[in-house]
């Protein structure tokens, strides 16, 4: 049938398979780039605060030419003090456009690290579980409106808003 367009069917990779895991890494990368559009310009420590939502904390652990390693977490208080949960360490591979959970821990009530990719006992299934959790958490955080944006320069403020804001006077 000449002239008829062929339908291209895109199938998603099989869950819990290696290709499925690579697909998950790619999706996590895309969501992280939506949340942190200018990774190079974001400060090493940043916090996304929204009314009615937990503050989401970002800490850039390492910036290299081809990778960036960062932590994402909330902070909670209990009888022992302040602690991060979940505490997810992510490595972003810029050239491959992938993001992988390399460590995760401190679930509610648990203060030790539960997952570390660099231990020799990490199975494909465990990698799938933690990267799937990251995918869902990033989607939830993006729906809430969390984002890490670099501070706007006076030039950008003027272009967007027409004038540079006056410094706020927070003193008494």
Does residue 44 sit within a domain?
A: yes
Does residue 105 sit within a domain?
A: yes
Q: How far apart are CA 153 and CA 161, in angstroms?
A: 12
Domain that holds residue 53: 18-161
Does residue 87 sit within a domain?
A: yes
Q: Record the tokens describing residue 121, joined without a space.
A: 């006992």
Does residue 2 sit within a domain?
A: no
Q: How far apart are CA 163 and CA 150, in angstroms?
A: 18
Low-confidence ranges of the chain (pLDDT < 50): 1, 3, 6-11, 110-113, 115, 168-172
The pLDDT of residue 129: 87
Q: Say what percent of the chain tops pLDDT 90.
A: 51
CB 115 within 8 A of CB 130: yes
The pLDDT of residue 76: 86
The pLDDT of residue 11: 45
Does residue 145 sit within a domain?
A: yes
The pLDDT of residue 1: 46
The pLDDT of residue 168: 44
The pLDDT of residue 119: 53
State how many domains the chain has. 1
Does residue 172 sit within a domain?
A: no
Does residue 118 sit within a domain?
A: yes
Q: Record the tokens describing residue 94, joined without a space.
A: 């810029």
């Amino acid at each position: 049938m000449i002239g008829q367009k062929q339908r291209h069917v895109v199938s998603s990779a099989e869950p819990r398979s290696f290709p499925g895991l690579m697909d998950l890494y790619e999706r996590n990368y895309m969501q992280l780039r939506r949340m942190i559009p200018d990774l190079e310009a974001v400060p090493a420590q940043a916090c996304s605060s929204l009314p009615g939502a937990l503050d989401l904390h970002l800490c850039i652990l390492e910036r290299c030419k081809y990778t960036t390693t960062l932590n994402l977490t909330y902070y909670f208080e209990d009888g022992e003090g302040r602690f991060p949960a979940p505490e997810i360490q992510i490595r972003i591979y810029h050239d491959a456009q992938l993001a992988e959970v390399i460590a995760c821990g401190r679930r509610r009530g648990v203060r030790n690290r539960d997952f570390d990719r660099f231990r020799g006992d990490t199975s494909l299934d465990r990698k799938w579980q933690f990267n799937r959790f990251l995918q869902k958490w990033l989607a939830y955080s993006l729906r809430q409106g969390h984002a890490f944006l670099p501070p706007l320069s006076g030039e950008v403020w003027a272009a967007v808003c027409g004038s540079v804001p006056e410094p706020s006077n927070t003193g008494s």
